[in-house]
Structure 1
Amino acid sequence: MATYKKRGSKKTSTSSVKSEVAQESTTAEVFETLDTTASKTEEWVVKYQNIILSSIGIVVIGVLGYLGYQNYILEPKAKEAISELNQAQYYFELAVNTVNSDSLYKRALNGGEGKYGFLDIIENYKGTTAAKLATYSAGMAYLNIKDYQNAINYLDQFTSEDVLLGALAKGAIGDALVQMNQLDKAYNYYVDASMINNNMYSTPKYLYKAAMLGAKLGKNSQALVYLKRIEKEFKESQEAGLVEVQIAILETLMK
C-alpha cells in the first residue's frame, strides 16, 4: 500500500511539472502575441501618424471654423442686416399709410439713400433672420404694387416659426391668386391659412375669405361650415359681424 502511494505521488509530481511547463509555454505565447500585436499597432501608428494627426486637425479646424463663423462672421452680419432692414421697413410702413404709395413700396424693395432694400437684404444676408423677414415684406410689397407673380414667388419662399406671419403669407398668396383669377388655388390657400394657427385674427379672416370664395365656386356646404364656425368660435372677431347675412343667403340658396 505504501509503495502504491509513493508511486502515485511521484506520478502526480511529474504531471504537475508538465502542466506548469505547458502553462508557461502558453503564457509565453500569449505575451509574444500581445507583443507582436502591440508592435504592429505601434508600427501602424508611426506609419500613419501624419494621416491621423491631419484628420484630428481637420476636425478641430472644422469646429473652430464653425465657432469662428458663428461669432465673427454670422453674428456681425446679422446685426448689420437688421440695421439695413430697419430702413427698408420704414419705407414699407410709410407706403402702408400713404395713398399714392407705389414709389415707397418700390423704394422699400430696391433701397434708397445709400441703404439696402428688401431685395438687397435677401441677396446679401442669406441665412439671417433679417433676410427671412425681408422675403415676407418683399412679397407683401409686390402684392401692393400689383406685381402678383413676384408676390407669390417671394411669399412662397418665406418660412417662419411665427405662426401668425406664416398664416398671413399663405393668405396673401391666396389674395394674389384671386387677382390672377386662379380661384381654385386661391381657395386652397385660404383654407390652409386658416388652419396654420387658431387665433382671433388670422383664423376668422381666412375662414371668411374661404367661405366667400367657396360660395362663388359652388362649395356652398363647406362655405356654410366656415361661416358658422366663425359665428360660434370667433364672436369677438371683425368677421363675426359679417357672417349672419351670409349664412342666411347660403341657407336660402341650399333649400
Structure 2
Amino acid sequence: MATYKKRGYKPSNQEEKKKSAEEESTTAEVFNTLDESASRTETWVADNQKYIYIIVGVAIVAVLGYLGYNRFILEPKQTEAANEMAQAQDYMSSALRASGAQSDSLYNLALNGGEGKYGFLDIIENYGGTDAANLAHYNAGFAFLRTGKYQEAIEQLEDFSSDDEVLAALATGGIGDAFMQLDQPNEALGYYEKAAEMRSNSFTTPRFLLKAAITAIKLGDADTAEEYLLQIEDEYPDAPEAEKVPIYLGQARAMIN
C-alpha cells in the first residue's frame, strides 16, 4: 500500500534514497521523451510548413469555390434554364391534348424548340447539371416514346434521376413501355416490376403491377401474373386497375389449369 509522504520528507535510509533517485530518473526520462517528441513535431511542422499551408489553402479554396459556384453560377443557371424550358413544356402540354399529326408536330417542337426558344434537347445540352436539364430528360423521354422513337426514349429516361414518389416510378415504367414496343417483353417485365416496387402508392403501384401481370401472361408465366393480380385485388381494391383484375386473372388461371 502506498504511503503518503509529507512535504519536505527526506529518505531515512539508503534503500529509500536509491528508490527516490530511480523515481526522479524515470520522471526525467519521461519529460525528456516528451520534449524530444514535441521537438520532432515542431521540426516536422517547420520543415513541411509550406506543404501544410498549401493543403489548407486548397481545402479553403475548394470550399469557397463550391459555395461560389452554387451561388454565382449554378443558381443563376438553374433560373435561366427554367425560363428557357417554359416554351418546351407548353408544347409538351399541348401535345398531350392533341392527336395524330398535330400531336407529333408538337412533340417535335417540345424536343427541338420553336419560336426562338430551346427544346428539351437544347436544355440538356446547354444546362447540364441543373434540375431543369434533369427534368428535360424525363420530358424528352416521353416525347420520344409517344413519337415512336423507343431507343431514344430509353436513353433519356435512364438519364433521369428523382426521389419523387410518382416521377421516379413513371420514368422507370416508361422504359418498360419502350421495351414492350421494341418487342422485348422480358426487359419490359423487369422494369415494370422495378417501377411497382420503387414506391408504394395507389397510383403507380397498381398501374405497374397490372402491366407486369399482362407482360407475364404474354411470356407464359401465369404464376407471376396471378401473384401480381392478387396483390392489386388485396392491396389496391379501389384503384382503376382493380376493375381489370378479373379478366386477366381468368386468363392466368386458365393457363395454369
Same fold (TM over 0.5): yes
Cα separation, 2, equivalents of 1:245 and 1:16: 102
For 1:81, give the aligned amino acid.
A
Query: What is the CA-CA distance between 1:186 and the residue it aligns to?
Result: 1.1
**Equivalent residue for 2:198?**
196
For 2:226, give the aligned amino acid.
L
**Equivalent residue for 1:134?**
136
- 1:246 aligned to 2:217? no
Equivalent residue in structure 2 for 1:169, among 168, 171, 180: 171
Change in 2 beyond 3 A, CA 1:34/1:155? closer
**Equivalent residue for 1:103?**
105
Query: What is the CA-CA distance between 1:115 and the residue it aligns to?
Result: 2.0
Change in 2 beyond 3 A, CA 1:215/1:24? closer
Change in 2 beyond 3 A, CA 1:228/1:25? closer
Cα separation, 2, equivalents of 1:40 and 1:27: 20
Equivalent residue in structure 1 for 2:230, among 228, 231, 250: 228
Query: What is the CA-CA distance between 1:43 and the residue it aligns to?
Result: 5.4
**Equivalent residue for 2:121?**
119
Cα separation, 2, equivalents of 1:84 and 1:197: 31
Aligned length: 245
Cα separation, 2, equivalents of 1:88 and 1:43: 64
Cα separation, 1, equivalents of 2:215 and 2:60: 58
Unpaired segments ≥5 residues, structure 2? 1-11
- Partner SS, residue 163 of structure 1: coil
Unpaired segments ≥5 residues, structure 1? 1-11
Cα separation, 1, equivalents of 2:92 and 2:161: 20
Cα separation, 2, equivalents of 1:32 and 1:203: 72
Q: Deviations over 1:202-240 (max 9, x none)?
A: 111111111112112111122122222222221221111
Change in 2 beyond 3 A, CA 1:44/1:194? closer
Cα separation, 1, equivalents of 2:206 and 2:23: 87
Cα separation, 2, equivalents of 1:67 and 1:175: 41
For 1:168, give the aligned amino acid.
L
Query: What is the CA-CA distance between 1:184 and the residue it aligns to?
Result: 1.4
Cα separation, 2, equivalents of 1:175 and 1:83: 30
Change in 2 beyond 3 A, CA 1:178/1:24? closer
**Equivalent residue for 2:70?**
70
User: With structure 1 as the length reference, what TM-score do the two structures score?
Assistant: 0.82
For 2:193, give the aligned amino acid.
V
Cα separation, 2, equivalents of 1:168 and 1:206: 9
**Equivalent residue for 1:86?**
86
- 1:210 aligned to 2:212? yes
Change in 2 beyond 3 A, CA 1:190/1:49? closer
Change in 2 beyond 3 A, CA 1:211/1:25? closer
Cα separation, 2, equivalents of 1:25 and 1:226: 82
Alpha-carbon RMSD across the aligned residues, in angstroms, is 2.9
Percent identity of paired positions between Structure 1 and Structure 2:
48
Query: What is the CA-CA distance between 1:21 and the residue it aligns to?
Result: 9.7
